Amino acid sequence: MTAAERLFHALENDFGISGAKGELSFRLKDYHIVVEQNNVIGSILEEWLGKWMNSRGIPNEHNTAQSSPDFWLNPDNKNEDWLEVKAFTGSPNFDVAAFRSFIQLAIDKPWKLHSQHLLLKYKMQDGIVTVENCWLKNLWEICSSSASWPVKVQCKRGIIFNIRPATWYAVSPSYPAFSSLEHFLAAVEETIYKYHDTRATIAEHWTERLIESYRKHYGRELIIPRWNDIKNLYLPEQNEP
């Protein structure tokens, strides 16, 4: 069991986070308000998680910089046990990663590929925050294809900004989440080739650099299939070329 899995077990079974309710409030001198702004919930839940882990003696280091990960669950070895925390209301609307940063970070720090994601779905009404559900997923399990790209991305005016999440909990999704790291990387590779800004600058040697970096760190080869050989698993028939 990984450190993230032990944390998830403690949150779900010991604490009972699914269904838990909380209230956000702010007091300035003698005037008190109940906070009803959704845009602060993610940061507050992340801060709460760090302090809750500290109260339970769960090893962690909170990364307060704007970079991966949100938490190191093994502060003595920061090359493993990365935890990302994502909170959302409604459907998943967060950024998984900045696209250009991710494709370089995967080479520089291949353990990023095995980061785990704690996902908190909540609702907010009259200042009361209710955690509706909680999941622990691998990176590839929260990513999918889309109608336009092998990996679902945020693309505006022809410029890719971020990798965007799948609806991993949907019963019959149009674009299912990837079933393995290798399939996810095949889709990333194809996206790099398809995207004009990376096709000429990064695409040619990206895969071999990634495989070599991964082999040096983990001592095994990544076998990344060709996207054309697996795309039928992830694209609806009507969207296939």
How many whole angstroms separate alpha carbon 115 and alpha carbon 53?
18
* Mean pLDDT score, 23-34: 91
Total domains in the fold of the chain: 1
Helical (H) or strand (E) element with 123: strand 116-125
For position 39, what pLDDT does the model report? 86
Q: What is the pLDDT of residues 147-188, one digit of tens each?
A: 999 999 999 999 999 999 999 999 999 999 999 999 999 999
Is the per-residue pLDDT at 238 higher than 80?
no
How many whole angstroms separate alpha carbon 208 and alpha carbon 227?
16
For position 240, what pLDDT does the model report? 43
How many whole angstroms separate alpha carbon 175 and alpha carbon 215?
30
Residues 6 or more apart whose CB falls under 8 angstroms from that of 182 comprise 222, 223, 224, 225
Is the per-residue pLDDT at 209 higher than 70?
yes
Mean pLDDT of the chain: 95
Confidence band, pLDDT 50/70/90 cuts, at residue 126 = confident
Confidence band, pLDDT 50/70/90 cuts, at residue 127 = confident
The owner of tokens 């209301």 is: 89
Confidence band, pLDDT 50/70/90 cuts, at residue 59 = very high
Show the domain range for 164: 3-239
Q: What is the pLDDT of residues 99-125, one digit of tens each?
A: 999 999 999 999 999 999 999 999 998
Q: 193 vs 1, which has greater pLDDT?
A: 193
Q: What is the pLDDT of residues 210-226, one digit of tens each?
A: 999 999 999 999 999 99
* Mean pLDDT score, 134-149: 98
